[in-house]
């Protein structure tokens, strides 16, 4: 049973998300993808043991995925200030991702939100506007624990994303210096720093067009990739199925992606289905484990509209 005890029920119900505790019976019993190739969480250091880089940095969402648990995420399009990170954590979310592709956020605003998320104990990622290293590296240097790369079509593009997001030996992310915010500006040997950051960083690519779907097996096999995130809205557009998320071809696309990711030890994310909890439940039971449940703007509009109606419906 999926625990969402702290979930902000009124706002989510008004927004049509429906991710409440009883929605997904038996989801935890479904087979989870094989774990990503990474070291297990470190043991708690003794009071006299020297602090290691890995002791200071964990990615809560990535750890849940490794355990086969469901990660509930929200996207941030409206709120520019760091308070949204604590609001998301207090509402019961495991993760948020800042929408840089479809918004006008500045890099400073994104960094503030990502750093606040670290303090709040949830995972902040950024959907970057492109896979250029200057976009990928800058948001990671600013405190994000993952990037989401949109509009991917080829295996080579996936390799470029991995290379830009990971330090050697998995990639060629530019060295930012020995002291980083996620490590509390403490200095560690370079190899230790790279290993800790690589292990905590999530590299996610969007599967949202037929070109990527045709190559899903090859894409899922790319080393250093953590998750394929299905953007259902854009995928249905690409398939000529506008507004038909429940079409059998869309279900087949999810099934193919989930099976490919299971074979290669990758995770699967669900996007674009916030208004269809029935489909979310179906794909979680099939093996997906990351859910994008809506945006801050959607939640605000839904809750505000529900409250206005509640007052207007009072008989006087």
Active site residues: 102
Instruction: Collapse the DSSP code of 71 into the 3-class scheme (helix H, G, I; strand E, B; otherwise coil) and give the result.
Output: strand
Contact 147, 140 (CB under 8 A): yes
- Percentages helix, strand, coil for the chain, rounded to the nearest 5? 45, 15, 45
Question: Interhelix angle for 248-264 vs 277-286, to 10°?
Answer: 40
What is d(CA 65, CA 63) in angstroms, rounded to the nearest whole number? 5
**What CA–CA distances, in Å, run from 131 to 101, 233, 260?**
11, 21, 23
Contact 85, 120 (CB under 8 A): yes
Contact 1, 21 (CB under 8 A): yes
What is d(CA 27, CA 51) in angstroms, rounded to the nearest whole number? 38
Contact 285, 68 (CB under 8 A): no
Contact 88, 96 (CB under 8 A): yes
Tokens 């503030």 -> residue: 112
Give the containing element (helix H, strand E) for 97.
Answer: strand 95-99
Helices (H), the chain: 9-14, 53-56, 60-66, 83-90, 107-120, 133-141, 155-165, 190-200, 210-214, 216-220, 232-238, 248-264, 277-286, 296-312
106 token code pair: 């500045």
Best CA proximity match to 125, nearest among 161, 160, 155, 156: 161
Beta-bridged to residue 235, according to DSSP, are none
């Amino acid at each position: 049973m999926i625990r969402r005890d702290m979930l902000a029920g009124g706002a989510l119900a008004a927004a049509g998300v429906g991710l409440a505790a009883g929605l997904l019976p038996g989801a935890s019993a479904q087979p989870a993808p094989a774990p990503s190739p990474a070291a297990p969480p470190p043991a708690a250091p003794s009071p006299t043991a020297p602090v290691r880089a890995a002791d200071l940095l964990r990615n809560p969402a990535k750890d849940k995925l490794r355990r086969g648990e469901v990660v509930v995420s929200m996207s941030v399009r409206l709120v520019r200030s760091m308070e949204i990170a604590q609001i998301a954590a207090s509402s019961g979310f495991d993760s948020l991702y800042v929408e840089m592709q479809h918004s006008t956020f500045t890099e400073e605003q994104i960094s503030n939100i990502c750093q606040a998320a670290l303090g709040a104990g949830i995972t902040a990622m950024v959907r970057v506007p492109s896979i250029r290293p200057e976009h990928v590296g800058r948001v990671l240097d600013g405190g994000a624990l993952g990037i989401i790369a949109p509009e991917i079509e080829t295996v080579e593009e996936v390799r470029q994303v991995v290379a830009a997001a990971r330090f050697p030996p998995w990639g060629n992310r530019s060295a930012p210096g020995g002291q980083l915010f996620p490590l509390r500006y403490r200095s560690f040997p370079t190899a230790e720093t790279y290993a800790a950051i690589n292990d905590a960083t999530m590299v996610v690519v969007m599967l949202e067009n037929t070109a990527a779907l045709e190559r899903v097996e090859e894409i899922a096999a790319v080393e250093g990739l953590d998750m394929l995130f299905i953007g259902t809205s854009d995928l249905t557009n690409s398939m000529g199925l506008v507004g038909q998320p429940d079409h059998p071809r869309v279900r087949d696309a999810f099934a193919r992606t989930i099976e490919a990711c299971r074979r290669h030890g990758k995770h699967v994310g669900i996007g674009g289905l916030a208004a269809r909890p029935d489909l979310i439940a179906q794909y979680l039971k099939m093996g997906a484990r990351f859910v994008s449940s809506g945006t801050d703007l959607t939640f605000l509009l839904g809750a505000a509209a529900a409250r206005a109606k509640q007052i207007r419906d009072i008989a006087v």
